[in-house]
């Protein structure tokens, strides 16, 4: 699939009234605040009229600045947050705060900012917003549901089992069904929160406990021994493929948000055929879930060069560490143009 570059500055948003939502109550709160600050700064630079709200705090007004945009993110998720956080309610975002807004830029990650609940509220209020709609957001956040759709659409994905109780599957049964090592992760979290690579039986119990700490459903997944790849989708354009080389065995939370813990190659050092396969399967996964606007599709490529789609992220990070901005830059789209284009796609 071809990549089309662009000249920075082609999407005019001068005078556009944009509300940036960032922060929230999910385990990805720190990442969201950094994304929101970067987005607000870029939109302001492009001439938009920008203000920001943090629906997870009172007062809700978010103070954003270039300093906050420099990724003040810890090496672990914020303390005190779990999968049972209070949900976003209509009172968290008053309609009076939205009535004069042209578009809401959703820079929330995880939780009710990304699982369709917020999108449903905005739909009912008749407010335009960035990213996918209610149903696509819900399906993409639910890894079990999205993987079933991938299989139905012929998009390879690692084999898995879904658990609602830690006693449903023991270690030996999991290894027999899925091989070793195993991935254990919450069914509906992002940024690899609660994820463990289980290489031996002694890790099994702790891995399940950690995953269930963040969600009431847990995925036990086949580990694909190979390379970590990702591709962005922006409207009808697919970006160059990014290859991720973490210092740890997995691209975990610490590697994602700590300087020097990852090497990123964009475009990825893979063959043209492998690049096409990754891009084509990425856009297929995006469309299979009914996504719109922009998203990021994550893959593992095995040693034979076969692609396995892990998930589609409907509100990918917009920090300096984030992958969609890196891929967009390689396609000739600078960060201010990227966020402007995302706003234009929404309206």
Q: What is the model's pLDDT at position 93?
A: 57
Q: What is the model's pLDDT at position 95?
A: 56
Catalytic, 311? Answer yes
CATH architecture of 17-131: 3-Layer(aba) Sandwich (3.40)
How many residues in the chain? Answer: 347
Topology of domain 141-156+224-330 in CATH is D-amino Acid Aminotransferase; Chain A, domain 1 (3.30.470)
What whole-number distance in Å separates Cα of residue 324 and Cα of residue 313?
10
Catalytic, 28? Answer yes
pLDDT in tens, 142-162: 999 999 999 999 999 999 999
Helix (H) / strand (E) containing 143: helix 143-152
Q: What is the model's pLDDT at position 193?
A: 79
Catalytic, 298? Answer yes
Q: What is the model's pLDDT at position 56?
A: 74
Catalytic residue among 252, 298, 300, 341: 298
Catalytic, 317? Answer yes
Q: What is the model's pLDDT at position 32?
A: 86
Catalytic residue among 85, 115, 137, 191: 191
Q: What is the model's pLDDT at position 187?
A: 95
Radius of gyration of the chain (CA): 19
Query: Does the 160-222 domain belong in CATH 3.30.1490.20?
Result: yes
β-sheet with 196-198: strand ranges across = 160-163, 218-222, 182-186, 196-198
User: Do residues 1 and 280 lie in contact, with contact meaning Cβ atoms separated by under 8 Å?
Assistant: yes
Catalytic, 191? Answer yes
Catalytic residue among 317, 322, 337, 341: 317
Q: For the whole model, what pTM was predicted?
A: 0.86
Per-domain residue ranges of the chain? 17-131, 141-156+224-330, 160-222
User: Do residues 169 and 153 lie in contact, with contact meaning Cβ atoms separated by under 8 Å?
Assistant: no
Catalytic residue among 129, 171, 253, 257: 257
One-character DSSP codes across 199-235: -SGGGHHHHHHHHHHH-SSEEEEE---EEEEEEEEET
176 CA to centre of own chain = 31
pLDDT-flagged residues of the chain (< 50): 1-9, 59, 67-71, 73, 75, 77, 81-86, 90
């Amino acid at each position: 699939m071809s990549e089309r570059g662009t000249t920075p500055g082609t999407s005019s948003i001068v005078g556009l009234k944009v509300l940036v939502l960032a922060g929230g109550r999910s385990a990805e709160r720190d990442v969201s605040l950094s994304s929101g600050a970067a987005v607000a700064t870029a939109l302001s630079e492009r001439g938009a009229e920008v203000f920001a709200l943090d629906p997870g705090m009172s007062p809700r007004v978010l103070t954003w600045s270039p300093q906050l945009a420099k990724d003040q993110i810890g090496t672990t998720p914020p303390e005190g947050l779990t999968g049972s956080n209070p949900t976003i309610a209509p009172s968290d975002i008053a309609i009076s705060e939205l009535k004069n807004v042209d578009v809401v830029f959703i820079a929330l990650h995880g939780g009710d900012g990304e699982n369709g609940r917020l999108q449903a509220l905005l739909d009912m209020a008749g407010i335009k917003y960035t990213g996918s709609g209610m149903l696509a957001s819900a399906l993409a956040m639910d890894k079990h549901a999205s993987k079933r759709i991938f299989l139905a659409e012929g998009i390879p994905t690692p084999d898995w089992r879904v658990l609602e109780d830690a006693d449903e599957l023991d270690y030996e049964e999991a290894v027999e069904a899925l091989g070793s090592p195993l991935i254990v992760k919450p069914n509906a979290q992002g940024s690899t929160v609660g994820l463990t690579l289980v290489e031996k039986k002694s890790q099994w119990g702790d891995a399940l406990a950690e995953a269930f700490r963040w969600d009431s459903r847990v995925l036990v997944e086949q580990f694909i021994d190979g390379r970590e790849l990702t591709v962005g989708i922006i409207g009808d354009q697919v970006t160059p493929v990014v290859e991720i080389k973490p210092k740890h065995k997995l691209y975990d939370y610490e590697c994602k948000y700590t300087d020097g813990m990852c090497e990123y190659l964009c475009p990825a050092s893979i063959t043209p055929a492998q690049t096409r396969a990754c891009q084509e399967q990425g856009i297929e996964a995006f469309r299979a879930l009914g996504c719109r606007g922009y998203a990021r599709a994550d893959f593992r490529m095995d040693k034979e060069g076969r692609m396995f789609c892990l998930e589609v992220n409907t509100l990918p990070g917009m920090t300096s560490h984030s992958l969609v901005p890196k891929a967009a830059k390689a396609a000739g789209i600078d960060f201010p143009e990227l966020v402007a284009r995302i706003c234009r796609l929404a309206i």
